[in-house]
Structure 1
Amino acid sequence: MIAETPKNKPRFRLHPVALLNSDRLRRSLVETYERKGNFKYFIGVVLLILSIASLFYTNDLVDKLEEREEREVRLYGEGLRYIVNSPDDENFTVIMGVIQDAVTFYQIPVIYVDENNFPIHRNINFPKNASLRDKERIIEAQLVKMKSEHIPVPVQIGEGKTGYIYYSNSFLLTQLRYYPFVQLTVMLLIGYLAYLAFSAARKAEQNRVWVGLAKETAHQLGTPLSSLMAWVEYFRSDPNIDSSIADEIEKDVVRLEMITTRFSNIGSVPTLKQESVSTIVTSFITYLQKRVSSKVHFFIHDQLSEGQTALLNKNLFEWVVENICKNAVDAMSGIGEIHVTLQAPPNSKQILIDIQDTGKGMTKANANKIFNPGFSTKKRGWGLGLTLAKRIIEDYHGGKLFVKSSEVGKGTTFRILIPAKIAEEVIPED
């Protein structure tokens, strides 16, 4: 229920959206992204099962085809033995044609070496216009390869003489042998593309959630802000009210207006200006220190050189620092130290900002999920603060925001990386 205000005094009413149950929203976001994460793993498992099944099936086909090719080569050898050991006046043209066609049909490279070690080849491909010497070298190389692949098939040609048939796998068998690996690569590629598509869809939905929530929040803050400004003027006009009270309220109203501007900037391209990183961080930490628990002590370790700047949107960048610091204060239960270190490593084009607390720390599993929308270790809140902070740094400022280190019971360190600029690089405006 909203209390009535005296006549002619400003008043405002909270829009129903402002009464949104943040815990319900946070749970909804977490459930949404957990479901999508489970779906991603399901796709990965299905692709893995299909790949393994395909590997086993194809290997079975390869083994069967290899056995069949070996039988064809042995049949070819039996045909040679039968012809050599049969009477000279018998006609074997048809039989030998059938046997040779079987080897040719499967495109099995075959080299028969007689008792004098003279090679006779079948299905050996030679380059066009190859000389006799070139063909001999190719046959020698093929023999070396065939000896390493299969045990030669002996052919008894009578009177204790033996010839040998050397052979290689057919081109079809070779293709099938490598096919599972090609198929697995294709499966992995499909899985990777599916992951990219899923990530893009998730990011697009995430952007819609952020932008919609931010715009609606900025819109809802507009009405009470206007009313609060009217209240400030009312207090100042009343001689019975200490004017310093109105001044302090005005400071917080200005702060709320800045927060409204931040939310309005989400979803649109912010304006970046060359700013002194040390100045922004130091002045904001000074402001923040007066508005958190007196038992939280801030320490700034500024190691940046004079004139070190970066392209920043001041309001949004301060928001990032505020979100991280307030999370640190919550993690310390309002008692502890926060160390903010600013540095630019030699020969580096980046500025490093480490924000370290002495709080309860977090597990590795939570550290991996800390930037997910809706994730929070607190019972209250939307779980969007660090998510928005990461978006601001990475999407708007071209930097990085991540958990540098965290140890349960000892604290957490967040690291911000932003591209550095030098003051002399500033281009004067017309």
Structure 2
Amino acid sequence: MRMNFNPKNKTSNFILLITSFGIVSLILWNTNSFFKKFKEEERLKMEIWATAQSEFQQSSEDTDLGNLHLKVFQNNTSTPMILVNKDGSYKTNNMDKQKVSDSVYVQNRIRKFESENKPISINQQGEHLATLYYGNSEVLNKLKYYPIALLLIMFLFGAVIFFFFKTNKASEQNKLWAGMAKETAHQIGTPLSSLLGWNELLKSENINPQITKEISKDISRLETITERFSKIGSLPKLDPHDIVKETKDAYDYLKLRSSKLIDFSFSSNVGQLPVLLNRSLYNWTIENLVKNGIDAMKGKGSIHIEIRSEGKQVHVQVSDTGHGIPKSDFQTIFNPGVTSKKRGWGLGLSLVKRIVEEYHKGKIKVLSSNKQGTVMQVTLKALS
């Protein structure tokens, strides 16, 4: 199996990420600059309007100058404003005509406009005539929220890129572990075939039959291991099997081959329960969970396997009396390379998770853990 892990791809992805963020940042900066410029132009327009108001009061209604001022007033159709005269009277423009008669509403608008833009004082020959309060136009209000929307888009874009890289990295790791597993199975195959031949030759010799019998058991065990590793990275066949029997078989195998310092126990609330399983991989799952428990207990303690049926689900729980797992590590222990052993590779629980969730469409989790021990739970769907 050929796998390419090209560092140039990572560099290209990083450059693409930085470039994308640079472009979005530039758009954000330009939008902010445009917003400020547009706001300055609106203020200039209001200052022209205020000047026109002052000049209009000085000019004659019959002059062309007055007509020019009137055109200035009429051309403002977007910016809401309130003109408060020195006697307290006011007039409004581009506001809700049904509400402007309410003085409380007008006062609230004045406070709001004052917070948005600095009021403009209208003077004539040094005498204060009125104060102009104006708010942001509808276009400016919409534009004000555009940078926020752009920031949100930038955040979502970054999140998508992050999860893409994270998924890509996990995919590369999975390919690496699958490739190593298949290569291991391939490497074991050659000496295994040779051992089969040598064992058959020994059987024809006049030696103790118990020796060849034990050798056959070990060869059978190696064949099982080879089969397991060969199935990693490919979709295994699932067949209906009694999960109680399969779990009990794995339990019995481990009990016979474990230290007498380990106290094994088994219980089930059902007699038989068919589940779609790949026997070889499921047994490997139970073995990995039990062995992890034994390692956590440092070779001395209690292992309990319990099977519970709840509706259409079956829970297989493996409990130990080890030192426990910190709650912060409940998820990370299933990641490839994570291990508490000095010489461990951190593949056991990663493979278990892959077998349970990807191949058997089940769930595995740390049900509970403290200083008194840990309970790992595998949940699968029962056929009946």
Q: Same fold (TM over 0.5)?
A: yes
Aligned partner of 1:109 in structure 2 is 80
Aligned partner letter, 2:335: N
The CA deviation at 1:193 is 1.2
Answer 1 or 2: higher relative contact order, Cα 8 Å, separation at least 6: 1
Aligned partner letter, 1:108: T
Which secondary structure does the structure 2 equivalent of 1:398 belong to? coil
Quick check: 1:237 aligned with 2:200? no
Aligned partner of 2:3 in structure 1 is none
Aligned partner of 2:368 in structure 1 is 405
Runs of at least 5 residues in structure 1 that lack an aligned partner in the other structure: 1-31, 125-134, 423-430
- Percent identity (aligned): 35
The CA deviation at 1:194 is 0.7
The CA deviation at 1:168 is 3.4
Aligned partner of 1:352 in structure 2 is 315
Q: CA deviation digits over 1:44-95, x for unaligned, max 9?
A: 9x97x99999989977976786576456435524532442354445443475
How far apart, CA to CA, are the structure 1 residues paired with 2:134 and 2:256? 86
Q: 2:212 is matched with which residue: 233, 236, 246?
A: 246
Aligned partner letter, 1:92: L
Does the C-alpha gap of structure 1 residues 219 and 176 become closer, same or farther in structure 2, counting only changes over 3 Å?
same
Which secondary structure does the structure 1 equivalent of 2:334 belong to? coil
Aligned partner of 1:328 in structure 2 is 293
Does the C-alpha gap of structure 1 residues 143 and 275 become closer, same or farther in structure 2, counting only changes over 3 Å?
farther
Which secondary structure does the structure 2 equivalent of 1:275 belong to? strand
Aligned partner of 2:383 in structure 1 is 421
Given that 2:56 and 2:66 are in contact with CA atoms closer than 8 Å, whether structure 1 keeps it comes out as no
Quick check: 1:395 aligned with 2:361? no
Q: 1:121 is matched with which residue: 93, 97, 104?
A: 93
Quick check: 1:382 aligned with 2:345? yes
Aligned partner letter, 2:234: S
How far apart, CA to CA, are the structure 2 residues paired with 1:209 and 1:237? 43
Aligned partner letter, 1:357: D
Aligned partner letter, 1:417: T
Given that 1:54 and 1:180 are in contact with CA atoms closer than 8 Å, whether structure 2 keeps it comes out as no
How far apart, CA to CA, are the structure 2 residues paired with 1:349 and 1:150? 64
Which secondary structure does the structure 2 equivalent of 1:232 belong to? helix
Given that 1:312 and 1:397 are in contact with CA atoms closer than 8 Å, whether structure 2 keeps it comes out as yes
Q: CA deviation digits over 1:121-173, x for unaligned, max 9?
A: 34x7xxxxxxxxxx85487799698456324878799xxx9888664312342
How far apart, CA to CA, are the structure 1 residues paired with 2:308 and 2:237? 24
Given that 1:72 and 1:102 are in contact with CA atoms closer than 8 Å, whether structure 2 keeps it comes out as no
Aligned CA RMSD, in angstroms, stands at 4.0
Aligned partner letter, 1:385: G
Aligned partner letter, 1:229: L
Aligned partner of 2:185 in structure 1 is 218
Quick check: 1:257 aligned with 2:223? yes
Aligned partner of 2:138 in structure 1 is 171
Aligned partner letter, 1:312: L
Quick check: 1:96 aligned with 2:61? no
| Higher mean displacement: 349-358 or 64-73 | 64-73
How far apart, CA to CA, are the structure 1 residues paired with 2:267 and 2:46? 80
Quick check: 1:79 aligned with 2:52? yes
Aligned partner letter, 1:291: R
Alignment: residue pair count:
364
How far apart, CA to CA, are the structure 2 residues paired with 1:210 and 1:370? 16
Which secondary structure does the structure 2 equivalent of 1:370 belong to? helix
How far apart, CA to CA, are the structure 2 residues paired with 1:196 and 1:262? 31
The CA deviation at 1:313 is 0.8
Given that 2:316 and 2:378 are in contact with CA atoms closer than 8 Å, whether structure 1 keeps it comes out as yes
Which secondary structure does the structure 2 equivalent of 1:391 belong to? helix
Which secondary structure does the structure 1 equivalent of 2:145 belong to? helix
Runs of at least 5 residues in structure 2 that lack an aligned partner in the other structure: 1-6
The CA deviation at 1:365 is 4.4
Does the C-alpha gap of structure 1 residues 332 and 166 become closer, same or farther in structure 2, counting only changes over 3 Å?
same
How far apart, CA to CA, are the structure 1 residues paired with 2:120 and 2:382? 73
| Higher mean displacement: 63-72 or 371-380 | 63-72
Which secondary structure does the structure 1 equivalent of 2:259 belong to? coil
How far apart, CA to CA, are the structure 2 residues paired with 1:234 and 1:366? 51
The CA deviation at 1:192 is 2.0
Aligned partner letter, 1:188: F
Q: 1:317 is matched with which residue: 261, 269, 282?
A: 282
Aligned partner letter, 2:288: N
| Higher mean displacement: 336-345 or 384-393 | 336-345
Given that 2:79 and 2:134 are in contact with CA atoms closer than 8 Å, whether structure 1 keeps it comes out as yes
1:49-68 alignment, distance < 5 Å: none
Which secondary structure does the structure 2 equivalent of 1:226 belong to? helix
Aligned partner of 2:266 in structure 1 is 300
Q: 2:241 is matched with which residue: 265, 275, 279?
A: 275
TM-score by structure 1 length? 0.70
1:150-189 alignment, distance < 5 Å: 150-151=113-114, 167-189=134-156
1:2-21 alignment, distance < 5 Å: none
How far apart, CA to CA, are the structure 1 residues paired with 2:213 and 2:378? 34
Given that 2:238 and 2:278 are in contact with CA atoms closer than 8 Å, whether structure 1 keeps it comes out as yes
Quick check: 1:289 aligned with 2:251? no
